[in-house]
Amino acid sequence: MPRVVFRCDASPAIGSGHVARCMALARALKARGATVELAARDLPPRVRELLVSDAVGRVHDLEADAAHASVRDEGEPVAHAHWLAVSQRVDARQTIEVLRSGEPADWLIVDQYALDARWERAVRPHVEKLLVIDDLADRDHACDALLDQNFFLEPGSRYASRVPRAAELMLGPKFALLREEFGLERARLAERDGRLRRIFVCFGGFDAAGQTLRALDGIGAAALQGVAVDVVIARDDPQRPGVEARCAAARGWRAHFHVSEVAALMAPADLAIGASGIMSWERAALSLPAIVASVAENQHMVAQDLAADRACIYLGLADAWSAETLAGLLKGLSGTPALLTALAARAGALTDGRGAQRVAARLLPEAIELRIATPADCEDVHRWRNAEENREQAFDSKVIALDEHRRWFERVLADESVALLVGERAGEAIGVLRYDLAGGRATVSVYLVPGAHGRGYGNALIAAGTRWMREHHPQVAVLNAEIRYDNRRSIEAFANAGYLLASHTYTCELSHG
């Protein structure tokens, strides 16, 4: 049984988003049979109760170690060093003790801006693999994989000089770590018509900037007739008395202080007002139009790009907007349903709410073995390739004659620029991969054995092929896949395996004479 250990924290300064997304991934890993543990320092009781209790089997409470609190690490300090009550050296020592407290860990997953490559190098010998969850790209990492679920108009090479060349990158909102409830709610979501009847307000687990009351003031000032409001705030938030008073005084307004299934509360809304950060992906999974404010610089950058991509309306940093500004926006939106439907469509295209399951499948993939094809596979590969369910998705859908196939198969096995692989599960063939190598690039084609379709093997086979290429052909830096535009199953499988759409090429052949 795989063992996975998370290292992350929550506090009024840090917020609860890091723990929330880690616990979403923890639940997805548990569903794949892993035992999951959390190492955290000074975890707030409310966070432990709401986010952690059902996600992990054991919580390791790290000591603050006041005697070493003032000890500094050698070298340049990281920007968020104040988030850590101890030095990285002390934190690494404590984490190593956690790793040694049980069976060898298959994965250590760290989500803490105050930890960098120095910490990672210290703990790396004590775990099989290390995943870093980051948003900032502001420090070096020594990891096997890195996840950044944020959206950028020009992502460029944010981590090109920050991670080892062999590290696997999982970038973009399709990997957003959300609880399973968001994917389930999305599946039964009604089409949004742009009418404004219900508003959902939430600024996260800790609204230290006091934006919730300001938002309610803005909604009140807009004087929207017949619009209901659901507002979610922590039970111990200082704003609670004010929120309760405003909701009691307004018809159709409700305050919620303990919400175990927030997706079910968000889904009926027509508009959300709230924080950026992880909530951006929760709203996007439900195609929920949003007016957004942020409290941190990294959230500011992402929210700006989301607004530029017409996926939300951005108010700015917490101190940059007023209730009057919000009231004006609400009045305008209430009369323009086309704008709300456009916002919903663009937001909904960012993520399907299944990012945690997608990442879990990368970390703990199906037990698929790849082997190089041999002459004995020739007739089996011919039969699989000619199966109707494979031909109908191929660029060339004709039935291939056995003699023609034998000649092709012999050439391929002898060609060092081609890798032809057979994927097997429990000794049974499930599919075929072919990689055509050209310098630092390779083009992949894949199909499944008849009877293996619809069981999730496509995702696992492609991911296994990526690992095989990384191990056997380290000179290859880019994998390309050419897929028919109407082959939805293959498009989804390659997208889940980390492939991104780069471009379409259209060619016009000129006739002369």
CATH number of the domain that residue 121 is part of: 3.40.50.11190
Distance (Å, rounded) from C-alpha 330 to C-alpha 307? 16
As a whole-number percent, the residues of the chain with pLDDT over 70 amount to 96
Confidence at 367, pLDDT banded by 50, 70, 90:
confident
> Which position has the token pair 């989500």?
111
> CATH no. for residue 243?
3.40.50.2000
Does residue 356 form part of some domain? no
Q: Domain end: 116, 139, 171, which one? A: 171
Same domain? 115 vs 12: yes
Same domain? 306 vs 264: yes
The three-class DSSP label of residue 288 is: coil
Same domain? 266 vs 327: yes
Does residue 503 form part of some domain? no
Does residue 315 form part of some domain? yes
Q: Region 106-121: what's the mean pLDDT?
A: 97
- Element spanning 236, H or E: none
Same domain? 409 vs 431: yes
Whether the per-residue pLDDT at 250 is higher than 90: the answer is yes
Answer for the pair 417, 437: CB distance below 8 angstroms, yes or no: yes
Does residue 507 form part of some domain? no
pLDDT in tens, 388-402: 888 887 888 889 999
Distance (Å, rounded) from C-alpha 147 to C-alpha 107? 14
Q: Region 293-314: what's the mean pLDDT?
A: 92
Does residue 453 form part of some domain? yes
Whether the per-residue pLDDT at 2 is higher than 70: the answer is yes
Long-range contacts of 190-195 (CB under 8 A, 24+ apart): 192/270, 192/287, 192/289, 192/340, 192/341, 192/344, 193/337, 193/341, 194/270, 194/336, 194/337, 194/338, 194/339, 194/340, 194/341, 194/344, 195/270, 195/337, 195/340
Whether the per-residue pLDDT at 161 is higher than 70: the answer is yes
pLDDT in tens, 424-473: 988 889 999 999 999 899 999 999 999 888 777 888 899 899 989 999 99
**pLDDT at res. 511:** 45
Same domain? 276 vs 209: yes
**pLDDT at res. 487:** 77
pLDDT in tens, 400-420: 999 999 999 999 999 999 999
Answer for the pair 364, 420: CB distance below 8 angstroms, yes or no: no
**pLDDT at res. 144:** 96
More confident residue, 186 or 491: 186
Same domain? 292 vs 370: no
Same domain? 344 vs 370: no
| Number of domains comprising the chain | 3
Same domain? 196 vs 319: yes
Does residue 373 form part of some domain? yes
**pLDDT at res. 66:** 58
**pLDDT at res. 507:** 41
Same domain? 421 vs 452: yes
Range of 164-168, 189-193, 218-222 with top mean pLDDT: 218-222
**pLDDT at res. 416:** 94
Which of 261, 290, 237 has the alpha carbon at shortest distance from 46? 237
Q: Domain end: 171, 195, 210, which one? A: 171
Whether the per-residue pLDDT at 21 is higher than 80: the answer is yes
Confidence at 513, pLDDT banded by 50, 70, 90:
very low
Same domain? 381 vs 488: yes
What average pLDDT does the structure give for the chain?
Answer: 91
Confidence at 506, pLDDT banded by 50, 70, 90:
very low
Going by C-beta distance under 8 Å and a sequence separation of 6 or more, which residues neighbour residue 349?
A: none
Answer for the pair 271, 333: CB distance below 8 angstroms, yes or no: yes
Q: Residue 180, Cα to own-chain centre: how many angstroms? A: 12
> CATH no. for residue 478?
3.40.630.30
**pLDDT at res. 295:** 84
**pLDDT at res. 186:** 93
Q: Region 200-204: what's the mean pLDDT?
A: 93
Q: How far is CA 298 from CA 211, 278, 306, 400, 472, in A?
A: 18, 12, 13, 54, 37
**pLDDT at res. 497:** 72
**pLDDT at res. 509:** 46
More confident residue, 489 or 355: 355
User: Which residue range(s) make up the domain with 201?
Assistant: 181-348
Does residue 360 form part of some domain? no
Token code pair at residue 259:
């919400």
Same domain? 164 vs 253: no
Token code pair at residue 488:
């939805």
Same domain? 33 vs 69: yes
Does residue 508 form part of some domain? no
Q: Region 233-247: what's the mean pLDDT?
A: 91
Distance (Å, rounded) from C-alpha 20 to C-alpha 288? 20
**pLDDT at res. 148:** 96
Q: Domain end: 117, 142, 171, which one? A: 171
